[in-house]
Amino acid sequence: MKILVIDDSSVICDLVKFTLTMKNHEVITAEDGDSGIKAAKKDQPDLILLDILMPKMNGYEACSILKKDELTKNIPIFILSAKGQMSDLEQAFKFGADNYITKPFNPDKLNEIIFYKLSKIDK
């Protein structure tokens, strides 16, 4: 599976990339919403993991743009954020997110969540 990780933290990008490549996923990274949107259109990933708090364009805006674009609207978007209030989750789903995972996260659990949630979305 090809997964795009959009996060301004290189530490998070590296951790997620390491975790997911160990399960034979191809991982692409982008450091902000704008470059993430460009990467999603170019690379057509199977899943996007998207942070909320980023420079240039926040994750809510990026999610909204991706879900309105014909090329990317069907790509599942999982928010991966330190923001964990109910209002944050509601906002993410309002903008089109398919799932919400809070940081810090257990790398093994991240793989399980991705597998489980994508199997439910595909049905």
Q: What is residue 67's predicted lDDT score, i.e. its pLDDT?
A: 98
Rounded Cα distance, 22 and 24, in Å:
5
Handedness of CA 102, 35, 72, 62 (dihedral sign): positive
Q: Is the pLDDT of residue 1 over 70?
A: yes
pLDDT grade for 108, boundaries at 50, 70 and 90: confident
Which is more confident, 39 or 82? 39
Q: Is the pLDDT of residue 11 over 50?
A: yes
Q: What is the mean pLDDT of residues 49-65?
A: 94
- Fold assignment, 2-112: Rossmann fold (3.40.50)
Q: Is the pLDDT of residue 121 over 80?
A: no
Q: What is the pLDDT of residues 16-25, one digit of tens each?
A: 999 999 989 9
pLDDT grade for 122, boundaries at 50, 70 and 90: low
Nearest to 48 by CA among 123, 105, 100: 100
Q: Is the pLDDT of residue 111 over 90?
A: no
Sketch the domain layout of the chain as residue ranges. Answer: 2-112
Q: Is the pLDDT of residue 115 over 90?
A: no
**Alpha-carbon dihedral of residues 102, 23, 122, 117, nearest 10 degrees?**
-30
pTM of this structure: 0.92
